[in-house]
Amino acid sequence: MKKSVLPLLLSGFFMCVAGNATASTVSVQKSMEKMSISYRSMMKDNDINAFKKDLSAFKLSAQAAQKTSLNDSGKVTFDEGMKKLLNEVTLIEQKAQTQSISEVKTEARKLRSIMEQYHSKLWCVIICPQKLCLNSSRVFTLSPGFSLSLPTTK
């Protein structure tokens, strides 16, 4: 169930960012979409050279996002997350030189964890100004009369 909720949350995040954003935020959105595609490709790779190619595409997209950044109260958190993400990419690149594909993929899974951590940190910074907040019952209130309930995880 978690896998089906994450794309919905990310889609909502990107739609809200695009609807409330400056031109630089739209660039961040495009970079993040490219990062997502590269990450999925990387995790499907069975060949270390294909993995390195997809990791390189991921890194380029992350660097492009880092250059545009955000211009609001989420900038510090965003920059912190991008730095942590790119540091992990550097570590993965080093391991890809000497370790097997399965070992490198294990390290690469940390990228997803970092992305999820910072997406959730940025969620309310970016979205709450648009009156979309997560409360303790795990219901997002979008506008009067419309809400999205998320299942609780056990």
pTM: 0.66
pLDDT of residue 7: 54
pLDDT of residue 76: 84
Which range (55-64, 76-85, 122-131, 138-147) has the least confidence? Answer: 138-147
CB of 46 closer than 8 Å to CB of 70: no
Q: Which of 39, 26, 45, 46 is nearest to 88 (CA)?
A: 39
pLDDT of residue 118: 86
Maximum C-alpha span of the chain: 56
Unique residue bearing structure tokens 């965003």? 78
Q: What confidence category does residue 68 fall into, taking pLDDT thresholds of 50, 70 and 90?
A: confident
Q: Dihedrals φ, ψ of 146, to 5°?
A: -135, 130
> 21-53 pLDDT, tens per residue?
444 555 777 888 899 999 999 999 999 999 999
> 9-28 pLDDT, tens per residue?
455 555 554 444 444 555 77
How far is CA 5 from each of CA 12, 74, 121, 124, 143, rounded to the nearest angstrom?
11, 23, 17, 17, 20
**Domains of the chain listed by start with CATH number:** 22-142 (1.20.120.10)
CB of 128 closer than 8 Å to CB of 118: no
Mean pLDDT in the chain?
Answer: 75
